[in-house]
Structures are given as structure tokens and as C-alpha cells.
């Protein structure tokens, strides 16, 4: 199994990013091969401040390493450090139907809301296809709402293979169902767009204050409640131990407790859960040269593989 996934450096990672995706990436890193990249080229469609993008890319690398990504098992690199992917994007673009891109969710949604959509957003799925195909990836972990991207990639690869022979490995999506189940502080899906996030490496005191302000319903203290439908409990279930979750679930069913008590338990459990990663992050942040070395080594490995695939595609279509 050759795993590939990327994550955009558009801001600090929140619980939705971690529990919905990053944790599973780390679990998959011991497969035959795993390529994980920081998608700074994709981020250019929304981040237009060069200093912010540089900083976010560096911070994303530190965060991933602190959360357990091991460069001895997985290849970690910045997307822009593999220019072969951009060359491959053009080869794929020449055979990608316009209608296929017009049906993609990100473009359709932005147009439907009357927002400006540039060519970068419109052709985003082709760059994403090149990201996947450049490393002969056969497994791409994604959230349920991103499955379309893999289908588009398969369509683009199939079209190229039809015209020029079996050049590309056909990838398949590995759907991460948890990605749709991380509620934000308002009960909706956790997202930067909704301003309802709990950041992974947020100062514990600031996060505690944010947790204490989480909206809850107005049911009486003594009324039994269903833990499975309560977003406070859903958040707690991500960071609490099995015993803590069982005890709290029983309290919900029994009644006789206040949401304030649950919020305190949630803040305590979150601080304990992320404390080891927070300590690793402090150590990594103090070693910028080490981070640059890891990204440089990862880019060298990624470029070697991408160059091989690009050469194969160039030869197939007659430009090499």
C-alpha cells in the first residue's frame, strides 16, 4: 500500500483536522510507503500574504511531527519543493474535460454564493490529481466530503491512460468517517470557516475559557440526557479515557449534573491528552534547522519518485 495525503497550511490545526484526518495519517505511516505533504501551492488560492504562507508551512511541519508523524517511516515535504508535480499538472490539464471541473464542489459552491472564483480554484482538482498520481499512490485517506476529488483524479488518470497507455496507477479513496463527526463549539461541524474551532496547540488556559463558553441546551440539571446526541460528550469522547467516557455517559443517562461540570472535565481531559504532543512541539520549535532538514530530505525522496512518474508520462505522450 502506498499512501498519500496533503493538508493545507491555511491556519493552525484544530481538533477536526487532528481527529478527522491527521491521527489516521499517522496510523497509516507504517505501510509500505507513505507520502505526506504540506499543500502550500493549493493554499495560494486563499492565502495571499507571503510571510503568512511561509510561517504557516513551517508551523504545519512542526505540528505534524509533534503529533507523531515520523520521518523515518513517512516522507514529509512541502508541495512546492516538488516542481515535477506542476509539470505533470499541465500534461493532465490538456486532456481534462471542462465539464468535469465545472461539476466540482468547491468551484460550484463558490459560484453559487456569488463569490469570485479564479483559475486556481477552477483547476485545483487537476493539481490535486497530479499530487496523487506523481507518487504512484494507490490509497488516499480523505473525509467523506472529499471523495469527489479522488473520483475526479481517477477520471483524469483513466483518460490519460486511455490515450497513451497504462501510465498511472489508479488510486482509491480511504474514507475517514471520523472527519464528519467532530463538532465545533456551536455543535456544527468544526471548521475555520465557522469560527467554532478548538486548536490542537492552543494555550490550555485560553482553550479552557473557550470550552466554558460552549453553547448548551437549557434542559434541567436533574433531567437524564442522551450522551450520543450531545456535542459536549462527543468532544469529550475524543480526549477522555475509556473509563472516563463510560463514567460520564452513565452520568448523562442518570441525570443530576450540570453542563458546567462536563466542560471542566472536557478541559482537563483535553489538556492531558495533548500534553505529550505539546512538549514535543516545544522541543521541535527550538530546532528550526532540524525541521528544514526533514523537509529537505522528504522533498528529495518525493522528487525522485515524481521525476520517475513524470518521465513515464512524458515518454507516453511524445514530448520526451
Least confident among 43-57, 112-126, 189-203: 112-126
Least confident among 47-56, 81-90, 104-113: 104-113
Instruction: Tell me the C-alpha distance between 299 and 200, whole Å.
Output: 26
pLDDT in tens, 192-234: 888 999 999 999 999 999 999 998 888 887 889 899 999 999 9
The yes-or-no verdict on residue 291 having pLDDT over 90 is yes
The yes-or-no verdict on residue 260 having pLDDT over 70 is yes
The yes-or-no verdict on residue 170 having pLDDT over 80 is yes
The pLDDT assigned to 308 comes to 98
Average pLDDT value for residue range 52-66: 98
Contact 175/149 with Cβ under 8 angstroms? no
Where does the pLDDT of residue 282 fall: very low under 50, low under 70, confident under 90, or very high at 90 and above? very high
pLDDT in tens, 69-100: 999 999 999 999 999 999 999 999 999 999 99
Contacts of 236 (CB under 8 A, 6+ apart): 244, 245, 248, 262, 265, 266, 269
Domains defined for the chain, CATH in brackets: 2-182+288-317 (3.40.50.620), 202-281 (1.10.240.10)
Dihedral, CA atoms, 317, 90, 79, 308, nearest 10 degrees?
10
Instruction: Tell me the C-alpha distance between 131 and 124, whole Å.
Output: 11
pLDDT in tens, 308-317: 999 999 999 9
Distance set, CA 56 to CA 4, 48, 99 (Å): 21, 12, 34
Q: Residue 209 catalytic?
A: no
Q: Which burial class, exposed, middle or buried, applies to 225 when counting CB atoms under 10 A from its CB (0-12, 13-18, 19+)?
A: buried
Q: Which of 15-24, 172-181, 225-234, 295-304 is modeled with the greatest confidence?
A: 295-304
Angle in degrees, 0-180, between the axes of helices 231-239 and 242-254, rounded to the nearest 10: 160
Where does the pLDDT of residue 180 fall: very low under 50, low under 70, confident under 90, or very high at 90 and above? low
Q: Which of 192, 210, 245, 264 is catalytic?
A: 192
Q: Which of 189, 225, 263, 305 is catalytic?
A: 189
The pLDDT assigned to 178 comes to 59
Q: Residue 189 catalytic?
A: yes
Q: What is the mean pLDDT of the chain?
A: 93
Amino acid at each position: 500500500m502506498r499512501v498519500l495525503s496533503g493538508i493545507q497550511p491555511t491556519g493552525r490545526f484544530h481538533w477536526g483536522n487532528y481527529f478527522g484526518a491527521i491521527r489516521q495519517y499517522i496510523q497509516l505511516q507504517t505501510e509500505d510507503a507513505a507520502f505526506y505533504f504540506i499543500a502550500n501551492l493549493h493554499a495560494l488560492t486563499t492565502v495571499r500574504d507571503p510571510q503568512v504562507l511561509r510561517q504557516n508551512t513551517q508551523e504545519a511541519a512542526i505540528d505534524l511531527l509533534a503529533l507523531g508523524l515520523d520521518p523515518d517511516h513517512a516522507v514529509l515535504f512541502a508541495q512546492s519543493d516538488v516542481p515535477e508535480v506542476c509539470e505533470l499538472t499541465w500534461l493532465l490539464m490538456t486532456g481534462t474535460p471542462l465539464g468535469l471541473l465545472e461539476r466540482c464542489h468547491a468551484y460550484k459552491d463558490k459560484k453559487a454564493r456569488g463569490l469570485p472564483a479564479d483559475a486556481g480554484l477552477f483547476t485545483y482538482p487537476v493539481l490535486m490529481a497530479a499530487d496523487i498520481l506523481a507518487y504512484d499512490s494507490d490509497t488516499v485517506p480523505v473525509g467523506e466530503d472529499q471523495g469527489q476529488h479522488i473520483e475526479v483524479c481517477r477520471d483524469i488518470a483513466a483518460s490519460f491512460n486511455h490515450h497513451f497507455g497504462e501510465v498511472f496507477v489508479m488510486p482509491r479513496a480511504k474514507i475517514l468517517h471520523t472527519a464528519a463527526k467532530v463538532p465545533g463549539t456551536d455543535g456544527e461541524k468544526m471548521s475555520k470557516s465557522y469560527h467554532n474551532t478548538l486548536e490542537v496547540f492552543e494555550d490550555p488556559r485560553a482553550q479552557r475559557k473557550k470550552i466554558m463558553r460552549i453553547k448548551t441546551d437549557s434542559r434541567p440539571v436533574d433531567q437524564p440526557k442522551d450522551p450520543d446526541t450531545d456535542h459536549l460528550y462527543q468532544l469529550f469522547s475524543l480526549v477522555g479515557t475509556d473509563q472516563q467516557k463510560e463514567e460520564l455517559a452513565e452520568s448523562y443517562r442518570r441525570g443530576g449534573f450540570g453542563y458546567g461540570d462536563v466542560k471542566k472535565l472536557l478541559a482537563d481531559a483535553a489538556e492531558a491528552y495533548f500534553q505529550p504532543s505539546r512538549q514535543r512541539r516545544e522541543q521541535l520549535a527550538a530546532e528550526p534547522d532540524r525541521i528544514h532538514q526533514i523537509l529537505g530530505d522528504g522533498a528529495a525522496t518525493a522528487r525522485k519518485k515524481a521525476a520517475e512518474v513524470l518521465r513515464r508520462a512524458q515518454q507516453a505522450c511524445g514530448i520526451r
